[in-house]
């Protein structure tokens, strides 16, 4: 195992120098071979794996190996030899397993440790959001979930210790897949592999465990979810489950299994572990949006980025259908990765929602669970329904998200430039930053803190303004905005005393807010928000790099 870790580390250095590289290095893709490793399931199960693999392998240097016994070493040697003969100098291993603790996968890693070709290990299928969605797809077919106990049945243990470890991983997948679906209770059970020693005794033990998982008198639905035994329709794990069903339990009708998700998973892992050309890294600009002119201003501000990356635009409050449309367009344009740049005032705005859509709530470090739109500083009047029960976006693109302006130094520098453009006599001028604000006092204080930090950066920017002040409008909350309008009007009038001038600068992503209406009748000069400005483009580019860093970290965390 020590040797394997050493070889994996060496391979990681070779592959993880960056998510993308200049076009001259794109030939590195030809140097990477792929080997999918799966447990021997019997004819039908193996053919299902093979069908998915063939869809992935088209146009790639790839091999499929089924793990059986000690003979697998020779099979693997020959497969990796063929990869080398076709030009591979390294291999990415794709483990077709639900759990990293699967005994067959553990044995396969021992065989890999004896190879001369450097290898890097992708995540087992079961550790990805695609596994969760594959099971969720099946669970959505269960009627009356609120009155149903769910038993998710897996296969692959070779003894009590492995069964415990595998059951833990199956339970994790089941809990995540059942989120927001409303099941009464959820339990995972894992049977021993049919080839394990003491087969009949262990099957009897598994039947007892299944019976214990089914409470008397309650409706229980058993959902097989596995890459286990399936010689044909009769000699399969599902048939064993049917024979073992205790009274009160039913097995879910056949439907699409996890095999139908494998080609997408393989391609996604390949994309995640590849050094990509910038033209293969798509950018999705997600901004609140407004009328045609507002949206076009944002497009024009980002237009130069289109010379380096395929760019799609989504002007909405994180509408999943629109984001998925952008993902599909990037797929058609040949992208292999996508960075979703959230152009909102707060880092937290729609972060959780977007991360859930792309599976980062499962694979990333941030906590799962959508945060409400109103809680992030927008009025409840914006009717944005929760997407917690929607399927996540199924894509082979490696995806990440970044964004949120807050008090970013580039944002502050652009606002300073707006004020400098309006300025005629800085010593007699007061800069007044105005922000959107929020409905709750805590969120509004957060906005005020951001404006304060922006103001401090403007003060340190080398222009000797008389003063820099700030306030929020709380414009979406009629019962709260009145005192804030009065406060800003007072600031403008104070700035105009003794021959002074007020420079009102909207601290917004784009354009202006309600300044003209709320300050009607007063004398002031009005600037504009962040976009369009050269520094806005630099900020977007910085978010793209931040997103690619997230993908690098995801890859290196294997």
What's the chain's length in residues?
A: 558
Per-residue pLDDT of 174-197, as tens digits, reads 999 999 899 989 999 999 986 656
SS (H, E, C) 146-165: HHEEEEEEEEEECCHHHHHH
Residue 199: the pLDDT is 66
Contact (CB, 8 A) for 72 and 111: yes
Give the distance, in angstroms, between the CA of residue 293 and the centroid of all CA atoms in the same chain: 31
Distances (CA, A) of 481 to 80, 227, 281, 437: 68, 58, 42, 9
Residue 551: the pLDDT is 92
d(CA 34, CA 93): 6
Tally of CB atoms within 10 A around 253: 9
Contact (CB, 8 A) for 297 and 287: no
What domains are there in the chain, each with its CATH number?
2-125 (3.40.50.1400), 142-254 (3.40.50), 278-405+537-556 (3.40.50), 409-529 (3.40.50.1400)
Q: Give which of 156, 131, 173 is closest to 262, Cα–Cα.
A: 131
Q: State the pTM of this model.
A: 0.89
Per-residue pLDDT at 297 exceeds 90: yes
Tell whether the torsion through CA atoms of 532, 534, 536 and 541 is positive or negative.
Answer: positive
DSSP-assigned states of every residue in 120-140? EEPPPGGGSHHHHHHHHHHHT
Tally of CB atoms within 10 A around 269: 27
Per-residue pLDDT of 335-387, as tens digits, reads 999 999 999 999 999 999 999 999 999 997 653 443 333 334 443 334 444 55
Q: Please report which helix (H) or strand (E) contains residue 434, including its range.
A: strand 429-435
The CA radius of gyration of the chain, in Å to the nearest whole number, is 28
- Which of 19-23, 214-218, 377-381, 419-423 is least confident? 377-381
- Cβ-proximal residues to 227 (8 Å cutoff; 6+ apart), any chain: 38, 39, 41, 45, 49, 96, 97, 98, 125, 156, 258, 259
DSSP-assigned states of every residue in 468-491? EEEEE--TT-HHHHHHHHHHHHHH
Q: Which residue has the tokens 């009627």?
A: 143
Tokens (6 digits) for 346: 């707060």
pLDDT, averaged across the chain: 90
d(CA 311, CA 303): 9
């Amino acid at each position: 195992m020590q040797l394997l870790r050493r070889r994996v580390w060496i391979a990681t250095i070779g592959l993880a120098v960056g998510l993308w590289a200049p076009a001259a290095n794109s030939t590195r893709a030809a140097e990477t071979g792929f080997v999918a490793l799966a447990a021997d399931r019997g004819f039908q199960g193996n053919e299902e794996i093979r069908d998915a693999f063939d869809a992935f392998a088209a146009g790639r240097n790839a091999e499929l190996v089924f793990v059986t016994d000690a003979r697998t070493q020779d099979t693997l040697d020959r497969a990796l030899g063929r990869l080398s003969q076709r030009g591979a100098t390294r291999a990415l291993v794709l483990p077709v397993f639900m759990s990293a603790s699967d005994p067959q996968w553990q044995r396969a890693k021992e065989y890999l440790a004896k190879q001369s070709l450097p290898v890097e290990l992708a995540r087992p299928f079961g550790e990805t959001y695609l596994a969760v969605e594959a099971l969720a797809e099946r669970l959505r077919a269960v009627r009356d979930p609120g009155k149903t106990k769910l038993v998710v049945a897996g296969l692959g243990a070779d003894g009590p210790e492995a069964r415990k470890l595998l059951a833990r991983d199956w339970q994790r997948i089941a809990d995540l897949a059942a989120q927001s679906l409303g099941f009464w209770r959820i339990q995972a059970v894992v049977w021993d592999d049919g080839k394990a020693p003491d087969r009949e005794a262990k099957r009897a033990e598994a039947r007892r465990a299944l019976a214990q998982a089914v409470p008397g008198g309650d409706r229980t639905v058993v959902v097989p979810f596995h890459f286990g035994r399936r010689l044909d329709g009769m000699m399969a794990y599902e048939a064993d489950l049917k024979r073992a069903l205790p009274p009160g339990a039913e097995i879910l009708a056949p439907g699409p299994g996890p095999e139908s998700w494998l080609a997408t998973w393989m391609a996604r892992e390949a994309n995640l572990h590849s050094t990509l050309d910038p033209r293969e890294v798509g950018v999705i600009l997600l901004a609140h949006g407004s009328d045609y002119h507002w949206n076009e201003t944002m497009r024009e501000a980002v237009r130069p980025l289109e010379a380096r990356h395929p760019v799609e635009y989504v002007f909405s409050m994180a509408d999943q259908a629109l984001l998925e449309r952008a993902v599909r367009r990037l797929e058609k344009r040949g992208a292999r990765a996508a960075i979703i740049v959230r152009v909102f005032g707060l880092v937290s705005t729609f972060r959780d929602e977007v991360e859930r859509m792309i599976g980062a709530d499962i694979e990333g470090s941030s906590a799962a669970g959508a945060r409400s739109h109103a809680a992030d500083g927008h009025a409840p009047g914006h009717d944005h329904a929760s997407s917690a029960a929607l399927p996540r976006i199924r894509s082979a693109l490696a995806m990440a998200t970044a964004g949120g302006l807050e008090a970013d130094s580039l944002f502050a520098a652009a606002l300073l430039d707006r004020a400098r453009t309006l300025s005629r006599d800085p010593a007699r001028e007061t800069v007044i930053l105005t922000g959107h604000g929020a409905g709750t006092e805590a969120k509004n204080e957060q906005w005020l803190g951001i404006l304060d930090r922006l103001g401090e950066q403007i003060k340190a920017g080398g222009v000797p303004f008389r003063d820099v002040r700030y306030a929020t409008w709380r414009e979406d909350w009629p019962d709260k905005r009145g005192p804030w309008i009065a406060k800003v009007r007072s600031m403008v009038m104070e700035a105009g005393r003794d021959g002074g001038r007020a420079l009102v600068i909207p601290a917004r992503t784009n354009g202006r807010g309600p300044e003209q209406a709320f300050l009607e009748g007063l004398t002031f000069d009005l600037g504009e928000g962040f976009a369009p400005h050269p520094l806005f483009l630099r900020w977007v580019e910085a978010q793209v790099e931040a997103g690619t860093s997230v993908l690098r970290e995801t890859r290196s965390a294997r």
